[in-house]
Amino acid sequence: MTPRTRPGAAALAVVLLTTATGCAAADRSTAGQGRPPEHPVAPGAASAPAPFTLVASGDVLPHDSIIRQAAVDAGGAGYDFRPMFSGVRSVVSSADLAICHMETVYGEQGGPYTGYPAFKSPPEIAVALKETGYDSCSTASNHTLDDGAGGLRRTLDALDKAGVRHAGSARTAEEAARPTLLRAGGATVAQLAYTYDTNGYPLPEGQPWAVNLIDEQKILSDARAARKAGADVVVVSVHWGTEWQSAPDKRQLTLGRTLTASRTGDRPDIDLVIGTHAHVPQAYEKVNGTWIVYGMGDQIAGDMINYEGAHDRRGNEGTLARFTFTPPAAGGGRWQVTKAEFVPQYFDTARGRVVNLNEAIGKGELRYTEPRDAIRDVVLSRGAAQEGLTMAD
């Protein structure tokens, strides 16, 4: 089993740093692409904006055991993380836009690679993320500076090479100042990302913009700047909360209310909030008319040990969040979430694979019924079913 205890982390998790970083600039030239349109419109033809589906998932956290499994899956020739994700590939790749959370940084090609407490992961993960169908990843976490500015740079370089966009950390001030813009359906989607801390590692000297730290005024300023840069939908990824706590903590609830209440004109400044870090699934909730996923749990992780020193299955439970956005009737209006779903998932450490739980249960693998039901109960614990959230296959 891979130790996952972080002494003192529970107290640290609710401390939000307010280090000032550069404001996002209005620059549409960096807009990337999600899925390409299936039916391109002929030149000169009028067309209404198309709806789109967005899928998001939790922490990708390669412990030592995960690295060893990737070596086995590669047959002794490097590392292959693609089989680990195969169980959710159909859900991820079928979305118009798919967002992951890359919690750790990458080591040098060829290693050495390390797990907890200071992670250096094989860069081959980036290829697996791309081939699973992910378009972009949040990269702001408490582990972003585990290997200093070098690890941060290697991670973003590898994601770039694989064709995966990213938000939350940056190699230059100019990069930090640009919102990550992605195309999905008929919309331009901005992804912004922030973390509560970097485990005490200081920001690199002269690089206060290297990692986005949670500050509500900066988040709102960045969201408004993303709108000005052309974003129809603004998604905020936040690495927050208290580890091993299924219920959102006071700071999550307070910040969530503040972010979803902010408006400019007739539109909210933020259209979706998706959370990571707690290592256990947390509730979904609609607040001020906007969906918040307090915590999606871990997607990839080794056997997890809680603060009592016991193996805790919840550390391998998670969800895929799936939201369908529909364009407004008139230009300048809000893109509405017209369908909200979650897919329960589990990383089976004995198999070394992510499991789509409903799909597995449908095939007769009834041993997964208990974790599936536990995930469902937590996700719906704050009334999300009454707001239309459903559990999907």
Q: Of 348, 360, 350, which Cα lies nearest the Cα of 91?
A: 360
Specify the residue for token string 């995930």. Answer: 375
What is the pLDDT at residue 330?
86
pLDDT at 23: 29
Q: Which residues contact 169 (CB under 8 A, 6 or more apart)?
A: 139, 140, 144, 152, 155, 156, 193, 210, 211, 212
Q: How far apart are CA 302 and CA 293, in angstroms?
A: 23
Closest alpha carbon to 368 in 343, 385, 386: 343
- Alpha helices (H) along the chain: 9-12, 64-73, 82-85, 89-93, 124-132, 148-162, 173-176, 216-228, 250-261, 357-362, 369-379
In sequence order, what are the residues at sequence separation of 6 or more whose Cβ sits closer than 8 angstroms to the Cβ of residue 268? 260, 262, 288, 289, 290, 334
Write phi, then psi, for 346 (nearest 5 degrees).
Answer: -150, 135
Residue 273 confidence (pLDDT) = 99
Q: Which two tokens stand for residue 253?
A: 């609830």
CA-nearest of 172, 164, 169, 166 to 152 is 169
Strands 353-356 and 272-276: unpaired
Q: How many whole angstroms from its chain centre is CA 136?
A: 9
- What DSSP element (H or E) covers 193? strand 187-195
The amino acid sitting at 218 is K
Which residues, given as ranges, of the chain have pLDDT below 50? Answer: 1-33, 35-46
SS3 state of residue 206: coil
Give the pLDDT confidence score for residue 58 in this predicted structure: 98
- Domains of the chain (ranges; CATH) run 23-35+49-391 (3.60.21.10)
Number of other residues whose CB lies within 10 A of the CB of residue 65: 16
pLDDT given at position 49: 86
Verdict on whether the full-model pTM lies above 0.85: yes
- In angstroms, the CA 232 to CA 242 distance is 32
Q: Are 189 and 104 contacting, i.e. CB atoms less than 8 angstroms apart?
A: no
Please answer whether residues 67 and 107 qualify as being in contact, where contact means their C-beta atoms are separated by less than 8 angstroms: no
Q: Enumerate residues 6+ apart whose C-beta is below 8 A from 341.
A: 321, 322, 323, 389, 390, 391, 392
Q: What's the DSSP call for residue 294? A: S
Question: Judging by beta carbons within 10 Å of its beta carbon (0-12, 13-18, 19+), is residue 3 exposed, middle or buried?
Answer: middle
